[in-house]
């Protein structure tokens, strides 16, 4: 039985934790003593990720597996319900899951362009659905793993799915801009939950071809994410971080009107799928 003075083990959920920055983030958070909920798009890749974490020295008792295909919003909603039931207190949510927009325009079963849904709408829905656990204990954090490419983007308000003029780079950048804007909306900030976004650097992950031919290691990128999860790191609410420093986000991401508009549209889109 724990004594009142025993330290509380924090709980963190990392999405897209089967590889790359997500897996390394899960490993680092576990090494620092957190219970880590490892999100995977399917059971097989999730079990493999957990097995690799245990092989890397993480105690199995520190790990929990959560499965949801983010191209299906009903699975996101179901996963959130299970997480909230099993972990009524959540200290950290790392919205890391992302896909590169395909060469050909691709829609999800929910009727959204796939990069916009997987990279933004799923994170939006998951964060909203986990407001209870995220506000159960003061000091909780939501870290959106974004990209410097958000600065090249615009929100195509009249064609969010980019059906009329599709470009994979524009679709991906739009999803990262939306995720960056969403960090400014907060997640129950009045109850002590702080949201930020971060560009972890150009890293050698599956998304590297969108940026360059070489980059930092996934572990280096993950260390920059984990730093923002650490209670010892003072955060600027709603800020955008480039690696380890607060950096100016795209001007449109700083507009309160745009934040409200995006959240209203996202509420409509995830509600439609509910």
Name the catalytic one among 172, 211, 240, 241: 172
Reference 122, options 69, 170, 196; nearest CA is 69
Distance between the two ends of the chain, CA-based, in angstroms? 41
Q: Is residue 83 helix, strand or coil?
A: helix
- Alpha-carbon distance of 261 to 105, in angstroms, equals 25
- Alpha-carbon distance of 78 to 94, in angstroms, equals 18
**Number of neighbours of residue 32 by Cβ within 10 angstroms:** 13
Burial class (CB in 10 A: 0-12, 13-18, 19+), 130: buried
Question: 117, 170 in Cβ contact below 8 A?
Answer: no
Is 172 tagged catalytic?
Answer: yes
Q: Is residue 41 helix, strand or coil?
A: coil
How far out from the chain centre does Cα 267 lie? Answer: 17
3-state helix, strand, coil in the chain (%, to 5): 45, 15, 40
Active site positions, annotated: 172
């Amino acid at each position: 039985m724990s004594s009142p003075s025993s330290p509380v083990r924090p709980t963190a959920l990392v999405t897209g934790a089967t590889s790359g920055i997500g897996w390394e983030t899960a490993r680092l958070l576990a090494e620092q003593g957190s219970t880590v909920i490892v999100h995977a798009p399917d059971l097989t890749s999730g079990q493999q990720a957990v097995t690799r974490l245990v092989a890397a020295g993480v105690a199995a008792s520190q790990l929990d597996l959560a499965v949801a295909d983010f191209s299906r919003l009903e699975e996101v909603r179901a996963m959130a319900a299970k997480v909230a039931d099993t972990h009524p207190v959540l200290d950290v949510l790392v919205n890391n899951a992302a896909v590169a927009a395909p060469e050909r325009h691709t829609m999800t079963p929910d009727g959204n362009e796939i990069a916009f849904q997987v990279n933004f709408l799923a994170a939006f829905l998951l964060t909203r659905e986990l407001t209870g656990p995220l506000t159960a204990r003061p000091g909780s954090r939501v870290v959106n793993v974004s990209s410097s490419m958000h600065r090249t983007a615009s929100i195509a308000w009249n064609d969010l799915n980019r059906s009329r003029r599709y470009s994979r780079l524009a679709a991906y950048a739009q999803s990262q801009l939306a995720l960056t804007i969403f960090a400014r909306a907060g997640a129950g900030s009045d109850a002590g939950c702080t949201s930020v976004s971060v560009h972890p650097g150009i890293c050698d992950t599956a998304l590297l071809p969108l940026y360059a031919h070489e980059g930092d290691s996934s572990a280096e990128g993950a260390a920059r994410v984990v730093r923002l999860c650490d209670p010892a790191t003072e955060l600027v609410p709603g800020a955008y971080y480039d690696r380890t420093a607060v950096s100016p986000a795209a001007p449109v991401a700083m507009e309160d009107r745009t934040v409200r508009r995006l959240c209203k549209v996202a509420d409509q889109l995830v509600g439609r799928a509910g």
